[in-house]
Amino acid sequence: MKFYENNAKKIFKKEGIQILDGEVAHSPEEAMAITTEFGVPVAVKSQVLTGGRGKAGGIKFADTPGEAYQEADELLGSKIKGETVNHLLIEKKAEIQKEFFLSITIDRANKLPIIMASAEGGMEIEELAKTQPEKIIRYHVDPLREFFPFEAREIARKMGVASNLIQGIGGMIWKLYNVFDKYDAHTAEINPLVLTPEGLIAADAKLEIEDDALFRHKDIMEDFNFQKKEFAFVKLEGDIAVIGNGAGLTLTGMDMIKLYGGKPATFLDIGGGSSEETIKKALNLVLSYPPVKVVFLNVLGGITRADDVARGVIDSLESHPKKANFVIRLTGTNEEEGQKILEEAGIPYEISMEKAAQKAVEICNSLND
């Protein structure tokens, strides 16, 4: 689960990381009122979950309430890399003397958390990683033992920062790792961490928590009114939607589609124990994705019952305005009843995944001819 900057900063502040004064605005009028209250120049920041918003024009600056109104009016409703801006973070503009980069994520190759830090932060960090990777310090942390403050200070020293900043930046690294560890994060990042006359401040905040750990953080879910996604859903570049009950089965279905020359349009894992309503929602979700021409539903019933799947398919066909071609592989628990329901509705099915995948590709090819 990804957090908007404004929510990530609330958590950072709670854990002792200094942030800029700021308030959320949902309208130009609110942006103007907040700027008036602050009485100083502000940054008007689009709240989106995608990266690179600065380069995409998603951050503006305003010296007066009137300018804040104008900038907010332009940003609200606009799209940043395909994501609509629905709210803004209005912050007091920082007097930046120096920018740094701090990030903690999972190094999947080494199966360890990795701290990355650089004395050169900001929007050009990706370019720095390509052209001068030696300027980014990398430090693996053993998750089975405590990460100590002296280790964080050593990372700061290796960054090459001034001696009078080692203590402060080391403290920031240590606090950021505590956030990463405490909240079961996939990523915790400050870019940039800025040096100002008031000290070191997190000018931006990125936080992504592992979805499978959300049950341990019900307070966050309630505080920010988050809801866990019902499906694991990924949009791809093909035209055959692939749905399965289980990540492994869904990936296998995608491989089969590719084997026969097709291109998957979606990865959608409905999980185990899916109900009739779940099937309907999943099908309606992929049918709402414009590139989809054929839907390949690959179900091996265990906890998920084949008869529930069949009813969900019929409900979706009857309720959704888009009429796509369905290829269904249906076997497992209550398969005879499920197959009978499909037969009576005139909906073809296969027992073999290979045959179903091949059929889906053949139908799609015929539509493209």
Work out the mean pLDDT of the chain and round it to a whole number: 92
CATH code, 109: 3.30.470.20
* pLDDT tier for residue 26 given thresholds of 50, 70 and 90: very high
CATH code, 34: 3.30.1490.20
Both structure tokens of 229: 């996604």
Gap between the Cα atoms of 53 and 105, Å rounded: 20
Q: What is the DSSP-derived secondary structure letter of residue 310?
A: H
Q: Could you tell me if 269 and 299 are in contact, meaning their C-beta atoms sit under 8 angstroms apart?
A: no
Strand partners, 106: 113
Q: How far apart are the first and last CA of the chain?
A: 41
- Would you say residue 35 has pLDDT above 70? yes
Domain co-membership, 124 together with 85: no
Q: With respect to residue 8, please indicate whether it lies within any of the assigned structural domains.
A: no
Please count the structural domains in the chain: 3
Q: Could you tell me if 195 and 100 are in contact, meaning their C-beta atoms sit under 8 angstroms apart?
A: yes
Pick the range with the lowest mean pLDDT from 63-67, 206-210, 219-223.
219-223
Domain co-membership, 240 together with 317: yes
Domain co-membership, 152 together with 255: no
- Would you say residue 226 has pLDDT above 70? no
Given 223, 253, 273, which residue is the final one in a domain? 223
Please give the C-alpha separations between residue 312 and each of 111, 284, 289, 315, 317, in angstroms, as whole numbers. Answer: 40, 10, 18, 5, 9
The residue type of 345 is A
Domain co-membership, 175 together with 201: yes
Q: Could you tell me if 343 and 333 are in contact, meaning their C-beta atoms sit under 8 angstroms apart?
A: no
- Would you say residue 315 has pLDDT above 80? yes
Domain that holds residue 49: 21-92
Domain co-membership, 278 together with 303: yes
Q: With respect to residue 350, please indicate whether it lies within any of the assigned structural domains.
A: yes
Please give the C-alpha separations between residue 136 and each of 102, 111, 177, 187, 200, in angstroms, as whole numbers. Answer: 9, 20, 17, 17, 19
Average pLDDT on 227-245 reads: 83
Given 29, 64, 92, which residue is the final one in a domain? 92
pLDDT tens digits along 79-132: 998 889 999 999 999 999 999 999 999 998 999 999 999 999 887 888 888 899
